[in-house]
A = this chain, B = another copy of it.
Amino acid sequence: MGMGAAKSCIAAGLTTYGVDLNPAACQALRDAGAEAAGPATDGFAGELDGVLLLVVNAAQCRAVLFGENGLAAKLRPGTGVMVSATISAADSRDIAKGLAERGLLMLDAPVSGGAVKAAAGQMTVMASGGKDAFEKLKPVLDAVAGKVYTIGEEIGLGATVKIIHQLLAGVHIAAGAEAMALAARAGIPLDTMYEVVTNAAGNSWMFENRMKHVVDGDYTPHSAVDIFVKDLRLVTETALSLGFPLPLASTAYTMFANASNAGFGREDDAAVIKTFAGITLPEKKEK
């Protein structure tokens, strides 16, 4: 998604710098017209008006911003930092505090849409933060987002909306797996079950997308089981911090954690169905 977002910035006419540990990705971005791209921000951090941080988790956010040779200390005061990892509201607030101490403006701005939407400059952004942060990062938002939801001014609200979205996404995958597993047990052909559900009120975006992998017996990881172990853990931690019960999401977390422990962590998240014993699932057809 970082590559797609960076290319969208270039396409929008913004002077764009790329940072990635992978040299091939940096070369590709230079070829696409980036001013510079490399493994570190030395040499151009002081030139930046805005930073878009697209990493996996809060630890990576902190390493980039506040770790050894960290970016935050090198940015000019007033620079906008758009933090777009899926992280907890508490982490989001903590990172904002670290940035504020250096005079930097943060947008709590998780994204969705995957690599395809990112490449098209059409990511969905769910953002919270001060008006000054929104203004400072407007050129970046205009370049990378198809839709920006302004959740509020308080840092942490953007993170929470993304986490609640992931609650639904995770429960829907697990529910799809549970339904298809029961169908297999009952002797229903899974392609028929899939066709009925995807044409009826029991459908979900995740059922339609992920249960196709089960029907095809293809667990190539478009998004892995371990991503939902992480995200449903964030969901659970969020509920714990609010003293709130989550009967379904807690159960879904258990199902994904069990799938990971069973050795399916790096398979497609639809592989959560493999933890149901006593059924025979479709196998991948040889081409």
Nearest to A235 among chain B residues (CB) is: B182
Stretch of A28-36, A95-103, A200-208 at the chain-chain interface:
A200-208
| Copies of chain A in the complex | 2
Stretch of A65-73, A129-137, A241-249 at the chain-chain interface:
A241-249
Interface 1/0 per residue, A145-187 and B, CB below 8 Å: 0010101101001001100111111011011101101110111
Check A216 for interface membership: any CB of B closer than 8 A.
no
Check A278 for interface membership: any CB of B closer than 8 A.
yes
Check A8 for interface membership: any CB of B closer than 8 A.
no
Nearest to A207 among chain B residues (CB) is: B168
Please give the distance in Å from A154's CB to the nearest CB on chain B. 8
Nearest to A250 among chain B residues (CB) is: B251
Q: Is the interface of A mostly helix, strand, loop or mixed?
A: helix
Complex Cα–Cα for A152 and B200 (A): 19
Stretch of A19-27, A45-53, A191-199 at the chain-chain interface:
A191-199
* Interface contact B161-A204, CB-CB below 8 Å: no
Check A252 for interface membership: any CB of B closer than 8 A.
yes
Please give the distance in Å from A59's CB to the nearest CB on chain B. 23
* Interface contact A175-B167, CB-CB below 8 Å: yes
Check A239 for interface membership: any CB of B closer than 8 A.
yes
Please give the distance in Å from A124's CB to the nearest CB on chain B. 6
Complex Cα–Cα for A189 and B166 (A): 17
Check A44 for interface membership: any CB of B closer than 8 A.
no
* Interface contact B197-A165, CB-CB below 8 Å: yes
Q: Chain B residues with Cβ under 8 A from A249's Cβ?
A: 175, 178
Q: Chain B residues with Cβ under 8 A from A238's Cβ?
A: 182, 186
Q: Which of B157, B175, B251 contacts A188 (CB 8 A)?
A: B157
Q: Chain B residues with Cβ under 8 A from A181's Cβ?
A: 244
Complex Cα–Cα for A197 and B151 (A): 13
Q: Contacts A164-B188, A174-B248, A247-B255 hold; do A201 and B206 have CB atoms under 8 A apart? A: yes
* Interface contact B171-A175, CB-CB below 8 Å: yes
Q: Contacts A199-B124, A204-B172 hold; do A161 and B188 have CB atoms under 8 A apart? A: yes
Please give the distance in Å from A116's CB to the nearest CB on chain B. 12
* Interface contact B169-A201, CB-CB below 8 Å: yes
